[in-house]
Amino acid sequence: MWDPFGTLANALWIGGAQWAGKSTVARILAHRHGITAYHYDYHDARGHNDRRIAQRALRSQPLYGAEPEPTAELEARRIIESSFADRFEWTLDDLRALVSGRPVLAEGWGLRPELVMEFSKPDRMIVMVPSEEFRLHQAETLARAAVRNIDRDRIIGEDAVSRARAYGIRVYEVDGSRNAEQVADEVSEHFAEMLR
């Protein structure tokens, strides 16, 4: 894997499911440990969209994507099997542009175990997922929640957990019983060796 500045080899990864607090934990750890946090969702919603549109044009596909699949299961499968791999390559491009004397912490639901493990090690990744009760609580309280996406996100999260376990990656379930600082403590403990 092309890694001109060693950023990818030194990176730490938080993957998993929506509604698990990945961005919050990454932000806390960045401030605590003086590391750079890369937020996948931010780039995916902005700069990566231009790449997505260009890629669709080159493939003679509809520029703004396909219509959503008729079921949550089919939509989740489409995202897992096609969307994440393309977007992951763009994320790697973003990370390759960074140079840091400390690890870069990349977080996001598209940072899938099967993609990261092509070049990294299980101890450099953690997969965070919400418990079903916490996911439903978040969906009720956050304005951006879409009912249709709850099932899709659950399926994608379950798939991430299954793949993480197959690779020996730690899975951390967020159930709302700990505040963000406490969750960050546990994630920091997981990465302690690399954060020294």
Report pLDDT for 148.
65
Report pLDDT for 19.
87
Residue-wise pLDDT tens digits, 44-67: 555 556 666 666 667 677 766 556
Higher-pLDDT residue of 173 and 90 is 173
Distance CA 82, CA 74 (A): 12
Residue-wise pLDDT tens digits, 123-156: 999 999 999 999 888 777 765 546 668 888 999 9
Report pLDDT for 87.
87
Distance CA 104, CA 96 (A): 11
Other CB atoms within 10 Å distance of the CB of residue 46: 9
Higher-pLDDT residue of 50 and 177 is 177
Report pLDDT for 157.
96
Class of domain 7-195: alpha beta
Higher-pLDDT residue of 81 and 158 is 158
Report pLDDT for 64.
63
Distance CA 185, CA 182 (A): 5
**pLDDT grade, residue 109 (50/70/90)?**
very high
Report pLDDT for 66.
58
- The domain spans of the chain are 7-195
Partners of 7 in the beta sheet? none
Report pLDDT for 60.
74
Q: What share of the chain is helix, strand, coil (3-state, %, to 5)?
A: 55, 10, 30
